Amino acid sequence: MPGRPNILLIQTDQQRFDTIHALGNPIIQTPAQDRLVDEGTSFTSAYCPSPVCVASRCSMLLGQWPHRTGCTSNTPMPQDRTSLMEYLNDAGYQTHGIGKMHFSPDGRKMWGFDTRVFSEEGSGGDDFTEHLAREGYDHIVAPQGERSEYYYIPQPSQLPERLHHTRWLGDGTIDFLSRRDRNRPFFCWTSFIKPHPPFENPVPWSRLYRTVEMPLPFLPTDYEELLTYWSHFQNRYKYRDQGMDMNLVRTMRAAYYACISFIDHNVGRILAALEEDGILDDTLILYTADHGEMLGDYNCYGKRSFLDPSARVPLLARYPARFTPGARCDTPASLVDILPTCLNAAGLNATDDHDGADLAALAGGNTGRQAIIGQFSEGARGVYMLVTREHKYVYSAADRREWLFARLPGRMEERSLAGNPAYNRVLTAHRERMIAWLRDDGYIEPIDGDAWREFDAPEPIPTDPDAWQLFQDGRSVADRFPDGYGPSVDTLQPPPIRGF
């Protein structure tokens, strides 16, 4: 079938929306992303469907909201659905995946890929760690950085630039492009692990930004009132709820920016390879992230929040045949839009079972979209979001509380309008729309009639500052104190949660 574009999906992990120079960040250096902004369309109100790795990726590759996939956290994905790769593979596309997929429960599932180059977070055996072993670096047990207590401590990489995972992904993508089947269009999903913490970079990238250059975190008046149970929960088990060191926070930001600039350098190499091969304009390029990173804003870290730093993501589309160069679209977009965008570009049609919209149609104002939704977790810990052009509505079951934010250009959320009598009608309309959306889809677990269901409160966060600490290096405190000395392991382990 002539005329079908190649498709290159470039995804980063935990890259927040405001980390692209051409879209308003004066400090960060992102020439490749800037090129995509200049030569494609930027979706400046793009949100992840769930602010955590597995659920967000699941919704993206299935084109369905989390409440419809049943994957609302870092929990198993449904195994009986058709993925984006399967649709394209059945239509004759050569499909290739490289890097972090985070498929659960089977991390080795092909899910429509003809070929995969395996690499996930941590030190388990995969193609990347085998590559390091061949290069004489099999002694590195944490190739993406030390986690546990060091999770948010900026670190120099234990690897040289030429062997770092970010460079390895760039090399691997370019290698695929050079060896691809030239008789078929391709779909390639290149998935970077960074800038997911730990924030570790090799020289010279580790020296690109200085602490003194970094902005202070965003701490609006009464910011504590904007935090959910999950914000406090995550700060605790990631070792970030014992006070704020502004120099450390700015050093984190410098290392985080360096991760993104290192990725960007390799994205530039990939774009150059496409251009040298003469297929740049024949390739639909989508650049996005699975979710964001709080990075000290609101005195929070990680994700699991629907505040913009966690839930809002970069989303860039370059394909001259369908996307206007230099255009910007502020209509709310979501990662569930990736599947229909790719299918329509390939001459296929998304079905009624898919929830997303074609991004090209969205940019042209031809979808009639009024809102998008999001969800993280469920039951007593469920958090829900509805975003329109003007407002964002959030409800947290654990807190039995709702927030309403005005969406203002160039500003993050500063104060909730919930409780302001002037906005009662707007608040009620957004609540009713969110609940009706779930009910119409047959998802009634969090609702009771026309209201949110009231669950028993989840376990409170202990007053012991060492409780619920999360260990991700394979060693618990009990391993170090086999005779019972030292801290009690029971006070140091969080209640069961999935993933990172």
What pLDDT band is residue 478 in, cutting at 50, 70 and 90?
low
pLDDT of the residue at 479: 53
pTM here?
0.94
CATH fold for domain 376-452: Arylsulfatase, C-terminal domain (3.30.1120)
Mean pLDDT score of the chain: 93
pLDDT score at 487: 39
What pLDDT does 123 receive? 66
Q: Does the structure show a pLDDT above 80 at 8? A: yes
Percentage, residues of the chain above pLDDT 70:
94
User: Does residue 489 carry a pLDDT above 60?
Assistant: no
Average pLDDT for residues 134-148, to the nearest whole number?
A: 93
- Residue 491 pLDDT grade (very low, low, confident, very high; cuts 50, 70, 90): very low
Domain 6-369 class in CATH: alpha beta
- Is the predicted pLDDT of residue 384 greater than 60, yes or no? yes
55-107 per-position pLDDT tens digit: 999 999 999 999 999 999 999 999 999 999 999 999 999 999 999 999 999 98
Has residue 299 got a pLDDT over 50? yes
Cα 152 versus chain centre, distance: 17
Element containing residue 440 per DSSP (H, E): helix 424-440
Q: Are 381 and 229 in contact (CB under 8 A)?
A: yes
Q: Where are the domains of the chain?
A: 6-369, 376-452
Residue 108's pLDDT band (boundaries 50, 70, 90)?
Answer: very high
CA distance 108 to 220: 43
The mean pLDDT of 123-152, rounded to a whole number, is: 92
For residue 83, what pLDDT is reported? 97
Give the span between the Cα atoms of 395 and 431, in whole angstroms: 8
Give pLDDT, residue 351: 84
Q: What is the pLDDT of residue 469?
A: 86
User: What's the pLDDT at 361?
Assistant: 97
Neighbours of 121 (CB within 10 A): 21
Choose among 264, 262, 312: nearest CA to 17.
312
Distances from the Cα of 363 to the Cα of 280, 336, 451, angstroms: 21, 15, 34
pLDDT for 3:
81
Q: Which pLDDT does position 443 carry in this prediction?
A: 97
